Amino acid sequence: MKRIFSLLLLSLFLISCSREVYNSELVTSGGWYYCQNENKPYTGTGIEYDEKMTIRKRYNYKNGGLEGITYYYYPDGKVEEEVMFKNNVKHVVSRSYFNSGRLSSETAYVNGKPNGVSRSYYHLNGELSHEGYVVSGLLDGAQKTYFEDGNIKSIEIYKAGIRDGSFMIYFSNGNVKVKGYFKDGMVDGEFKEYDEKGKVVATRIFKSGVEIK
């Protein structure tokens, strides 16, 4: 109990020592943030207001760098976006929200670059609209889109930011609409189109993006 009480006192002390300034009062040097006329890197909160004095952005700093969660707000005060920082770069996850409060998108970050799963959602029902993987800021692997009812809409394969592999586009009933293949960012090989009942309506052959048949 004594230890817990000591920790509470420490927390209260840290909170009382925290600072809050207008973000415009901060200056940057070498990518790090300082209060004007101060040599020590800033630790505390930076706030940005609109013309109606409504908070629109809230930044958290530690030793001159962005640290923890940065918040962006809608004019009505609801959270529009939250971005996690570590050592002054985006890290872990960034999330954006519709004004209703529903999640709009989320992207994983590692050391300042999108790295991992990226998802976006439909506003009305919160269903997944897109899901894919990003490696060092580039699309990589399967990228999937969905109809609002949750059925698959398309699948494309990327390698290091370039379409490379099979791709499929679907009708809302689940049948294939278009099927083909990309190589180094260009259509290559057989390209087929179907009607909603699954019948082939067109077949074309491509070589390095050029139709040859």
Q: How high is the pLDDT of residue 14?
A: 42
Residue pair 4/11 in contact (Cβ under 8 Å)? The answer is no
Domain residue limits at 69: 18-97
SS3 2: helix
Q: How high is the pLDDT of residue 18?
A: 59
Q: How high is the pLDDT of residue 19?
A: 87
Q: How high is the pLDDT of residue 97?
A: 98
Residues of the chain whose pLDDT is less than 50?
1-2, 4-17
179 and 119, same structural domain? yes
Q: Is residue 8 part of a domain?
A: no
114 and 86, same structural domain? no
Could you read off the pLDDT of 122-180 as tens digits, one per residue?
999 999 999 999 999 999 999 999 999 999 999 999 999 999 999 999 999 999 999 99
| Domain boundary pick from 43, 70, 97 | 97
Number of H helices, E strands in the chain: 1, 20
120 and 48, same structural domain? no
Element (H, E) at 158: strand 152-159
Q: How high is the pLDDT of residue 213?
A: 78
Quote the CA–CA distance of 156 and 178 in Å, as a whole number: 11
